[in-house]
A and B are shown apart, each in its own frame.
Chain A
Amino acid sequence: MNVETETLLYLDGVTVSFDGFRALNELSLVIETGEMRAIIGPNGAGKTTMMDVVTGRTRPDAGSVVFDGDIDLTRLDEATIAELGIGRKFQKPTVFERHSVWDNLELALAGRRRPLRALLRAEGPKERARIEELLGIIRLGDQRERLAGSLSHGQKQWLEIGMLLAQEPKLMLVDEPAAGMTDSETEATATLLKEIAKEKSVVVVEHDMAFVRALGVKVSVLHEGSVLSEGTIDHVSEDPKVIEVYLGR
């Protein structure tokens, strides 16, 4: 079997510098199709920059980012990459605050991104059914009419995850989904992500070790812009290099 068909995302020797500071230093990372991966690391390790590179917000100085076999992401802009099937959740929950929960999901639904079609087309029964389904998954069914801005912090995080799902991506990049959540919300979020990972590749960046443990997936530890250690959570937390830079402090 060809290895390439197994690999969904392949970062090879990616380097990004800001004013001499190397945010990413020859970072190499492989995400398999259907895999869920947790990425941890201290502040400034390059986690968010890595997401910026993959989603087209930042152009790397060197290295390549290959998606879905043969697509070079370093030449494409955010909208194109999103249409190729990469969804991104921001660290701070970012939803359309002046729109209802329903409209947020409707705007995120796959397809129909061009201005003229948006002007002339209304949602059909298929779209409505899909939105209903998503509302069920993210447990906001009874909040559909509410303005997204009036949701609680945890609900906004879920709504944003729901919007990512609505995009029907092949790969979801999720930045600190559990930040600022209560323990029960954190647990529910871990369950939700595990559910999602059955069908999609998911990359989760997280600080919360308990949350990463609850996910129970392969972990990559980033430090100073490159991968320091990789393996199960137990493996990496016993790695002396990791203990020194991250867990030991």
Chain B
Amino acid sequence: MITTFIRNGIDRSWVVVVAILLATAIVVPVLNLYTAASSPLHVPDYAVPLLGKYLSFALLALSVGLIWGFCGILSLGHGAFFALGGYAMGMYLMRQIGSRGVYGDPVLPDFMVFLNWPELPVAWYGFQYFPYAMLMVVLVPGALAFVFGWFAFRSRVTGVYLSIITQAMTFALMLGFFRNNLGFGGNNGLTDFKDILGFNIQAPETRAALFAASAVALALAYMMCKAIIASRFGKVLIAIRDAENRARFLGYRVEHYKLVVWTLSACMAGIAGALYVPQVGIINPGEFEPANSIELVVWVAVGGRSLLVGPIVGAIVVNFAKTWFTTGALAPYWLFALGGLFIAVTLFLPKGIVGTLAEGWSALSQRRASARAESGIAPTNRDGPPGGRLSPEAAE
């Protein structure tokens, strides 16, 4: 049962993507820790958490690619799940500070002392334990997504209407988290982290480990998504995306399928947030901003949503461009560049970078195969008539 589940997911592109991610998980830390700073191969200290941030964004983009690309659910509020996962991790990191805070309180984080709170709010109980905090990283975004999705999908809210209420959701959470008395640090958020699992969070070794963890998490999530898409469940998702009513009248309870994949996607986004926070060192309500969630959708569109690698590539490419732009003289023009990129991709590469490349590649190999067959070098195309093969999107 489980073996067929896993075997279904295996094909060549699967192995390549996972191999690249795992190799990155090893190579970047090694080049950072064990090469001399003068070596041309040296990865500087500042680059490790930066690349780790890209990978956590890639995981977030993958979670959106799964629901948007394969079930047609366009979320404009996925930043909320990311931020909730980030807050759960931030709360763990806050409680690790202990008496090393500015006010030296052994239990209360600084902002609570500052606000004259007598004791720890109940919501913070248990967050000193790493396993509990990690459970919350998945559970809190998952539970919110489940409740939200339960009502939205049962009422058959689809298309732009669903997108708009996801925006409203993240906006409402942002307003809530900005308030001091919600108990999560108000507009300053959570920061000044010291340790994670007893290791200094600023140490190069810790940062290398966090980077590797991000790459491995992304590889695992990618494999999971790949196996889901290849299963019958994934086929039903695509069927719902393309002809929701047909699926319904065949007897599929569309809202249940959407709810499962939507909740799963939110859990993935939460994990991405938990990987992001220790690498950037802060989480604040700004992460809930609707604009963040929209930018995230741009990454996915740029990379392409017809294949699962699309969102990963899109997130890395756009964020690399963002870093490059915003650290130079071009900084004021970044938003123009982002908008221009989105328009250009929509107009000229509707399938995104990866989708367009995959399409070109399959067209090229088909032309080669038929040329070989015509010149009689190779035996006739055993794959059957051209056009009879599944296109890359369908094969995904």
Instruction: Using CB atoms and an 8 Å cutoff, list the residues of chain A in contact with chain B.
Output: 55, 78-79, 82-83, 87-88, 90, 94-100, 103, 106-108, 112-115, 118-123, 145-147, 150, 163, 167
- B251 in contact with A82 (CB, 8 Å): yes
Q: Return chain A residues, CB-CB under 8 Å to B390.
A: 100, 145, 147
Given contacts A107-B232, A107-B239, A121-B1, contact A78 B387 (CB under 8 A): no
Q: Return chain A residues, CB-CB under 8 Å to B389.
A: 145
Which single residue of chain B is at the shortest CB-CB distance from A88?
Answer: B249
Given contacts A113-B252, A150-B387, contact A95 B233 (CB under 8 A): no
Is B343 at the interface (CB under 8 A from chain A)? no
CB distance from B142 to the nearest CB of A (A): 15
With A55-B249, A97-B243 given, name 4 new contacts (CB 8 A).
Answer: A79-B251, A100-B394, A106-B232, A120-B1
- A97 in contact with B242 (CB, 8 Å): yes
When chains A and B are docked, how far (Å) is the Cα of A125 from the Cα of B254? 27
- A78 in contact with B248 (CB, 8 Å): yes
CB distance from A212 to the nearest CB of B (A): 24
- B238 in contact with A96 (CB, 8 Å): yes
Which single residue of chain A is at the shortest CB-CB distance from B240?
Answer: A96
Contact mask for chain B residues 344-385; partner A; CB cutoff 8 A; 1 contact, 0 none: 000000000000000000000000000000000000000010
Q: Return chain A residues, CB-CB under 8 Å to B4.
A: 120-122
When chains A and B are docked, how far (Å) is the Cα of A7 from the Cα of B215? 62
Chain B residues 226-273 with CB under 8 Å of chain A are: 228, 231-233, 235-236, 238-239, 241-243, 245-254, 256-257, 260
Contact mask for chain B residues 95-119; partner A; CB cutoff 8 A; 1 contact, 0 none: 0000000000000000000000000
- A167 in contact with B251 (CB, 8 Å): yes
Q: Return chain A residues, CB-CB under 8 Å to B391.
A: 147
Is B5 at the interface (CB under 8 A from chain A)? yes
A98, A103, A121, A123 pick with most chain B CB within 10 angstroms = A98
CB distance from B258 to the nearest CB of A (A): 10
Which single residue of chain A is at the shortest CB-CB distance from B393?
Answer: A98
Which 8 pairs of residues, A with B, have the shortest CB-CB distance?
A82-B251, A119-B233, A118-B233, A122-B4, A118-B232, A96-B239, A79-B253, A78-B248
- B250 in contact with A95 (CB, 8 Å): no
CB distance from B252 to the nearest CB of A (A): 6
CB distance from B239 to the nearest CB of A (A): 4
CB distance from B346 to the nearest CB of A (A): 21
CB distance from A159 to the nearest CB of B (A): 11
Is B202 at the interface (CB under 8 A from chain A)? no
Contact of B238 among A82, A83, A99 (CB under 8 A): A99
Q: Return chain A residues, CB-CB under 8 Å to B235.
A: 99, 103, 106-107, 118
When chains A and B are docked, how far (Å) is the Cα of A107 from the Cα of B248? 12
- B232 in contact with A121 (CB, 8 Å): yes
Is B122 at the interface (CB under 8 A from chain A)? no
Is B2 at the interface (CB under 8 A from chain A)? yes
Chain B residues 128-156 with CB under 8 Å of chain A are: none
- A96 in contact with B232 (CB, 8 Å): no
Counting contact residues on chain B (CB < 8 A from A), the size range is 35 or more
Q: Please list 8 pairs of residues, one from A and one from B, whose beta carbons are closer than 8 Å in the complex, sorted by A's number.
A: A94-B245, A96-B239, A97-B243, A98-B393, A114-B256, A115-B256, A120-B4, A122-B232
- A107 in contact with B243 (CB, 8 Å): no
When chains A and B are docked, how far (Å) is the Cα of A146 from the Cα of B228? 22
Contact of B5 among A87, A97, A120 (CB under 8 A): A120
- A82 in contact with B394 (CB, 8 Å): no
- A119 in contact with B251 (CB, 8 Å): no
- A98 in contact with B251 (CB, 8 Å): no
Contact of A119 among B5, B239, B247 (CB under 8 A): B5
Q: Return chain B residues, CB-CB under 8 Å to A107.
A: 232, 235-236, 239, 247, 250
Contact of A82 among B8, B249, B393 (CB under 8 A): B249
When chains A and B are docked, how far (Å) is the Cα of A179 from the Cα of B1? 43
Contact of A79 among B243, B246, B252, B387 (CB under 8 A): B252
Q: Return chain A residues, CB-CB under 8 Å to B40.
A: none
- B257 in contact with A167 (CB, 8 Å): no
Is B198 at the interface (CB under 8 A from chain A)? no
Q: Return chain A residues, CB-CB under 8 Å to B228.
A: 119
When chains A and B are docked, how far (Å) is the Cα of A108 from the Cα of B250? 6
CB distance from A148 to the nearest CB of B (A): 9
When chains A and B are docked, how far (Å) is the Cα of A94 from the Cα of B250? 11
Is B328 at the interface (CB under 8 A from chain A)? no
Q: Return chain A residues, CB-CB under 8 Å to B239.
A: 96, 99, 107
Which single residue of chain B is at the shortest CB-CB distance from A108?
Answer: B250
CB distance from A247 to the nearest CB of B (A): 32
